[in-house]
Structure 1
Amino acid sequence: MRFFFNQLTAAQKLCLSFIFVIILGSVLLSLPIFHLPSAPKTAYIDHLFTVVSMVCVTGLSVFPIADVYNHAGLILSMILIQIGGLGLITLIAFSYYTLRRKLSLSDLTVLQSSLSRESSRHLNKFLYSIYKFTFFVEMACAGILMIDFIPRFGFINGIFNAIFLSVSAFCNAGFDNLGNNSLIDFQTNPLVNLTIAFLIIAGGLGFANWIDIVHRLKDYLKSKPKKLSLTLRRLKIQTRLVLLTTLILLTGGTLLSWLIEYHNPNTIGNLNFFQQGLVSFFQTVTMRTAGFATIDYSQAHSATNFLFIIQMIIGGAPGGTAGGIKIACASLIVLLFKSELRGDKHVTFSKKRIPQEIIQQVLTILVFFFSVFIIGYFLLLVTEPSQSPFALLFETASALATVGVSMNLTSQLSLLGRVIIMLLMFLGRVGPLTVLLSLSQKQKTTITYPRADISLG
C-alpha cells in the first residue's frame, strides 16, 4: 500500500487526500450519535452529499444541517470545513513539523501544489503563518459576531454560532447552523454582513498574498518618512494583480447588481439606499465562492443571476480557500486580450513580462474548466428535465466554482443529479490544473515538431 502511494504523482495524492476525508466524514456524520432526536429521516447519500460540499467548501446541501446534526455533529462539520478550507495536506505537514519530523521530497511537492507555491523554501514558516493568521482572523471575527449573537441566541449558543459561522465564512464554505434561510434574516444587519464579508474576502484573497501584505505593512510602519506609494510598489506582482482585480470586481459587481435590483420589491426594492448598497455589496462578495445568501435568488432578475454566474466562475485568488478559475487567471486573460489588440509581443503587467508558460497554463485551466462546466450542465439537463434550464445553469456554476448558492433547487435533484453535483464540487475544489496533472504522465516529451500556420478568421 505504501509502495502504491509513493508511486502516485503529487496531484493524485492531493486528490486522494480529499477523497479519504470525504469518505471518513460521511460515514461518521451518518451515525445516529451525531443526529438530533427530532431529525428527519436521512439516507447515507444525503450525508455524503453534505460532506462533499463541506470538504470542498461549497455550501450546497439537501437539508439544513441545523435540523439534522446535534452539537457534536456540528463540531465535526466545522472540522471538516476547516480541513477542506486549509487542505488536508497542510494539516498533515503542520503535524509533521510540530513533531520535528522531516517531509519527504514528494510530500513537499504535494504541499506546494496545495498552496500554489513554486518553492519549498521556508515552507515551515509559511505554514505556521497560515495557521496563526487563520486562527487570529476566525477568532477575532467570531468575537465581533458574538456582540450580536449572544443577546440573540444566549451565551453558549451565541458563542458556538459565532465560531461556526466565522470558520465557515473564512473557509468560503457557505454553511450556517442558523436554519434554512442562510443569512436572509440578517439581510440589513451591518455588523453581521460586514464581518462575514471581511471573512470571505480574507479567506479568498490567498494566504501568500496576505503574508506579503502583512510584511509590506510592517515595513511601512517602520519606515521614516512613511511613503504608501513606495510600500505598494514593493508588493509582489501577483499580490498587486489580485488586489486590483478584487477591487474592480467588488466595485463593479456591487454597482451592477444594485442597478438591476434596486426596483425589485422581492429582493432589495423595499429597502432604503444604505440597505440596498449593503445587500448588493454582500451578494457580490459571497459570489466569490462563499455561498451565503441574503436574498432569494429565485426572486432576483435573470440578469442579476447571470451576473452572479460570471462572478462565481471568476472566483477568488489562488492559494486561498476560494474556488472558480481564480481572479489571477481571469486577469491574465484580459491582459492577453489587451496585448493581442495592441500587437504586443509579450503579456505584461506593471512593467513586468508574464512568462509564456503561465499563459499556457491559464488557457489549459480555461479549457478544462469550461469543458467540465458544459458536460456537467448537459448531464443535468438530461437527468433533470422537469427543472428550469437557467436554474440548472446556476446550480452547475455554483457547484463547480464551489460557491454553494442555489435557486432553491438542490433538494429537488434526483439521485443522478446529486451525483453530478458532487463530482462538480470535487473537481472544482481540487482545481482544474491539479486534476489535469493527476491524469497526465510523469514524463514530459522533449520532441520538437515543425511549425504549422493556421488561420483563425
Structure 2
Amino acid sequence: MSKPILQTIATFRASLLRIAPAKMLLLGYLSYMLIGWALLSMPFAQEVAVSALDTLFIATSAVSTTGLVTVDPGGSFTFAGEVIILLLIQIGGLGYMTIGSFTVLAVQQRISGLRTHAVKHAFNLPDDIKPAVFLRAVILFTVLCEALGATALYFIFVNNGVEDALWSAIFHAVSAFCTAGFSLFSTSFEAFRADAGLNIVISVLSLLGAMGFLIVVDSWRTLTGQTSHLGFTSKVIVRVTLWFLLIGTLIVGLADSTIAALPASERWLAAFFQTMTASTTVGFNTHPFSSLTPAVLMIIFFLMIFGASPAGTGGGLKTTAFAALVGLVRSTLKGRERIRFFKREVPIVKLQSATAGLAFYCTLLLIAMFILLLTETGAAFEVVMFEVISAMGTVGLSMGITGDLSDIGKIVIIVLMTAGRVGILTFGIAFAAADETREEEQDNELIL
C-alpha cells in the first residue's frame, strides 16, 4: 500500500479509538438499520407497496428485536424480504459487535483492543470473563438453541397444518431466541393458545435469550470447574427472573377476568405465556392484550420495564437494575450506609447506573408520551403508555395502535426502539459523550 493510504487508515483507526464505546454502539446499530431499510425498500423484497417510513420502521424494529410492526410482515414482504428481516433480527439479537468481532476472531484468532473494549461495554461483562471466550460461547449457544427450537417447532407446525412449516419454524425460532416477537402469523400465536408444546418451546427459547449469554458462560465455567459457583450477577438474574415469572403468572391468572374465564387447561398456560412474553420482552402473545384489565396491565408495564437481563437479547432497564434499586431502597429505609442485595454489597457504580438509567428512562417516557398524546388524539392514555413502554423495552406488544400511528408517531417509536436496543442509559451516554468531546475541543481552542 502507498504511504497516503496507510496514513488514512491509521488516522481512521485513531479516530475510532477516540469514539466513546456508547457512541460506537449507537452508530453501529444505526448503520445496520439503514442498510436494512435500503434492502427492504427494494422491489424484490416487497409483496405489496410499502412506504419508506414503514420499511424504516420494520428495519428498526427488526434490528432492535422489538417486533412492533406498522404492516403485516407475512403479507407485505416476499420470501426474500422475510429473509432480510430474519437476518436483521439475528444481527440485532446477537449484537452487531458480536457478529463483527466473532468474524475477526475466526479469521485472525484474536480481536483488537478496540473491539475488546466495545464488547465488554456492550455486554457489561465482568473483568474475569474474557471477551474472546464469551464471543465463541455466544455464537455456539445461539446456533444450538435456534436449531433445536426450529426442529421442535417444525413438528408442531406440521401437526397443525401450517403452510411452509420449515420456514415458519426457522423464522419463529430465531425470532423467539432473539426476543424479537416478529411473527408470520397476523395474530401472533393466539391460534396456539391451548398448544402446550408450542407454548413451552417458545417460552424456553425466549427465556434463554432474555436471561443473557452471561448466564451461559458463567454456568459453563462452573460446570467445567473453572469457578466453584455462579457469579453474583448470574444468581441475581436467575432469582429475580423466577420471582417475576411466578408472581406475574399468579396475578395475571387470578386478576384478569378474560383469562380467568378460559378453560382450566388454558388458563394458567395463557397466564404464564403473557407474563413470560412481557418479562423476556419477546413480544409474542397467545391472548389479546387489548382485552386485559387495567390492573393486570400495570403488572405487564412493570415486567416490560425490568424483565430482561444484561448481556441478553431483551430491552428495558434489566433485572440487575431492579435488584440494585431494591437494595438501595431497603438500605435507605433501614438507615444503613451500605447497600446490600442477597447479602452482598452492591458496588456504587451499579447503583449509579441503575438510578441514572431509571431517571433517563422516565425522561424519555415523559417526552414520548407528551408527543404521542398530541399526535395520536384518538388513542387512550393507557394505550399510548403501553406502546411507549413496549418500544423502550423492545417488547413488541401492542394494544392495537401501531398500524394507525401518524408519521410523527412512527418516528417517535423508531427513536424509542433504537434507544431500547442500544440500552436506555447507553443511548443517553452516547449523546453526552459527543457533547463532552465538543466541549473539550472548544476548551482547547480557547487555550490556543
- Residue in structure 1 matched with residue 330 of structure 2 by the alignment: 338
CA pair 100-153 structure 1, distance change in 2 beyond 3 A: farther
- Residue in structure 1 matched with residue 315 of structure 2 by the alignment: 323
CA deviation after TM superposition for structure 1 residue 146, in Å: 1.3
| Aligned partners of 1:206 and 1:317 also within 8 Å | yes
CA deviation after TM superposition for structure 1 residue 121, in Å: 5.5
1:241 is aligned with what amino acid?
Answer: V
In structure 1, distance between residues paired with 2:168 and 2:36: 21
- Residue in structure 1 matched with residue 80 of structure 2 by the alignment: 72
In structure 1, distance between residues paired with 2:109 and 2:431: 30
> If the length of structure 2 is used for normalisation, what is the TM-score?
0.90
Q: Which runs of 5+ in 1 are unaligned?
A: 221-230, 445-457
- Residue in structure 2 matched with residue 414 of structure 1 by the alignment: 406
Pairs within 5 Å for 1:5-404: 5-36=16-47, 39=48, 41-100=49-108, 102-119=110-127, 122-153=130-161, 157-178=164-185, 180-218=186-224, 234-261=229-256, 263-264=257-258, 268-288=259-279, 289-404=281-396
- SS for the counterpart of 1:406 is coil
In structure 2, distance between residues paired with 1:70 and 1:322: 27
| Aligned partners of 1:112 and 1:120 also within 8 Å | no
| Aligned partners of 2:282 and 2:395 also within 8 Å | yes
- SS for the counterpart of 2:230 is coil
CA deviation after TM superposition for structure 1 residue 211, in Å: 1.9
In structure 2, distance between residues paired with 1:299 and 1:352: 41
Aligned-pair identity (%): 30
In structure 2, distance between residues paired with 1:59 and 1:374: 22
Task: Name the structure with the higher helix share.
Answer: 2
Could you give the per-residue CA deviations for residues 57-113 of structure 1, whole angstroms, max 9, x where no partner exists?
A: 001001110001122111111110000011111111001011116433222211111
In structure 2, distance between residues paired with 1:270 and 1:345: 49
Could you give the per-residue CA deviations for residues 328-379 of structure 1, whole angstroms, max 9, x where no partner exists?
A: 1011111111111222221123432111222112111111111111111111
In structure 1, distance between residues paired with 2:45 and 2:135: 32
In structure 2, distance between residues paired with 1:144 and 1:219: 32
Verify: 1:432 aligned to 2:424, yes or no: yes
- SS for the counterpart of 2:164 is helix
| Aligned partners of 1:314 and 1:325 also within 8 Å | yes
- SS for the counterpart of 1:440 is helix
2:275 is aligned with what amino acid?
Answer: T
In structure 1, distance between residues paired with 2:391 and 2:129: 34
| Aligned partners of 2:57 and 2:414 also within 8 Å | yes
Q: Which runs of 5+ in 2 are unaligned?
A: 1-7, 438-448
2:207 is aligned with what amino acid?
Answer: I
CA pair 217-105 structure 1, distance change in 2 beyond 3 A: closer
In structure 2, distance between residues paired with 1:194 and 1:431: 28
| Aligned partners of 2:194 and 2:265 also within 8 Å | no
2:389 is aligned with what amino acid?
Answer: A
CA deviation after TM superposition for structure 1 residue 432, in Å: 2.0
- SS for the counterpart of 2:108 is coil
- Residue in structure 1 matched with residue 446 of structure 2 by the alignment: none
